Structure 1
Amino acid sequence: MPVAVIDGQPLHYIDQGCGPAVLLGSSYLWDRTMWAPQVEALSQKYRVIVPELWGHGESGQLPPRTQSLEDLARQSLALLDQLDTPSVNLVGLSVGGMWGARLALLAPERVNSLVLMDTYLGAEPEATRQYYFSLFKMIEEAGAIPEPLLDVIAPIFFRAEIDRESALYQNFRQSLRDFPRERLLDSIVPLGRLIFSRKDVLAQLPRLDRDTTLVMCGQQDKPRPPTESAEMAELIGCSLILIPDAGHISSRENPDFVNEALLTFLANHA
């Protein structure tokens, strides 16, 4: 994988295909494989760029001065500058949508179109914020994600009836188990606290271009339910697509539906 040095740390990314640039922003706790079906489909017509979050995949640790989602947006702009890419079509899922929308608000001239998937631009509800912070504390104390927590965290990302013996589920569960202690403490937990203590920017959403923005959400998304996506789509004034048979990681649970929707949207906006 190619690497860019951003804020003193190595940021690894995929850069595949030719054509208008599509930047894919990933979910917390997932590496580049969460976009594998989309990279394969989109790179036939587009240049697909997938940066890996700090502490995830092959990227380095969270840079010390990274304190907000605005910092993640700024770092993504720095990557685009290094790649000499003046503008992109941005597709962000979960935290990828959180920093992606902030990037579009910060530098609208750099974003030709925006797809917000399984994400929310409001603050984290206090009850879930406290719950996630309690999990982070347990992870810090153990220096690992303890076995019982694997069966708490992994199901959050999928529809309720997913086959827990499937390769998709088991590979993700194993990836959580495999996080090294140092990476958990210096990147994963601090990044999680940053994400779940984010500021509410819903009031800024009407500034986004309704004609070049799309909101998508898995019908069975638990952490980012469709009601949140509907709220955002109404504020923006854009279309909302609900993804059947999918939870939070809709890109992997129903890739054919997601690919068709993205290809249709990009054909009209890229």
Structure 2
Amino acid sequence: MPFFTVDGQALHYIDQGTGPAVLLAGSYLWDQAMWAPQIAALAPHYRVIALDLWGHGESGRLPENTTSLDDIARQAQALLDHLDIDQITLVGLSVGGMWGVRLALSAPHRLNGLVLMDTYVGVEPEPTRQYYFSLFNQIEESGEISDALLDIVVPIFFRPGIDPQSALYQDFRAKLAGYSSERLRESVVPMGRITFGRDDLLPRLGELNAATTLVLCGDQDKPRPPTEAQEMAELIGCPCVLVPEAGHISNLENPQFVNDALLKFLAERDSRR
């Protein structure tokens, strides 16, 4: 498993396939394994890079000087430099889209295309921010994500009709329950505060290239509802596509629809090279 040391910590990533490069940037509380259906679909045609957030998957702890999503974007760009990749199509879901937009704005020459999935780059609505921060405080104090908190947190990521006994649901719940106190306090909770305490990038969305940007959102996404996706797409001037029968982790709840949308988008980018 390849690692890249940046800001004193080991960032874990996977690198599969050959061809034009695609960087997959995933959700808070998920690791690169969430992209398994997309990697299987894309790797026969593209070079697919997927990384683990700090404190997630196999990546090391959050570096001490990492205090914003701009830092995460800078670290991802350093990974691209390390891999000698000049240009990517970036597919960012949730926090992956939040820092992905920052990478697109700071280094537009590095992007051949941008797909924003189930994400929002405006500030977190204040009631939601306060609620999430109260959960972070509970987790930090107890050093665990208790069963009671799991009952609150896990359903947030899925459409309301999902079978709670499904492997997708139960595997995610088990992974969260297994986080060590050290990982939670050093990385997961601080990463959450960075994510939900972000600044507002809505005024800068017009700087993105509308012709090479796509917004995707699960039609039943609760934390990042379709209204947010549509607002961003209007500000960018790009298409907004709703993923049917999907919640926040839309790429896993309706992988075939997402795969088809990504392959179509990537083929359009390839034809314009």
TM class by shorter chain equals over 0.9
Tell me the C-alpha RMSD between the 2 structures. Answer: 0.5
The residue number in structure 2 matching 1:164 is 164
Q: Verify: 1:205 aligned to 2:205, yes or no.
A: yes
| Gap runs ≥5 in structure 2 | none
Rounded to whole Å, the distance in 2 between the matches of 1:40 and 1:6 is: 28
After superposition, the C-alpha distances for 1:69-123 in whole angstroms (9 at most, x for unaligned) are 1111000000000001111000000000000011000000001100000000100
Q: What amino acid does structure 2 have at the position aligned with 1:165?
A: Q
Deviation at 1:33, TM superposition (A): 1.4
Rounded to whole Å, the distance in 2 between the matches of 1:254 and 1:15 is: 24
The residue number in structure 2 matching 1:54 is 54
- How is 1:1-270 mapped onto 2 (pairs within 5 angstroms)? 1-270=1-270
Counterpart secondary structure, 2:5: strand
Deviation at 1:255, TM superposition (A): 0.2
Rounded to whole Å, the distance in 1 between the matches of 2:123 and 2:57 is: 27
Q: What amino acid does structure 1 have at the position aligned with 2:264?
A: T
Rounded to whole Å, the distance in 2 between the matches of 1:76 and 1:140 is: 27
Deviation at 1:141, TM superposition (A): 1.1
Rounded to whole Å, the distance in 2 between the matches of 1:4 and 1:171 is: 27
Rounded to whole Å, the distance in 2 between the matches of 1:32 and 1:98 is: 16
After superposition, the C-alpha distances for 1:43-70 in whole angstroms (9 at most, x for unaligned) are 0100000010000000000001011111
Deviation at 1:18, TM superposition (A): 0.4
The TM-score with structure 2 as length reference comes to: 0.98
The TM-score with structure 1 as length reference comes to: 0.99
Q: What amino acid does structure 1 have at the position aligned with 2:16?
A: Q
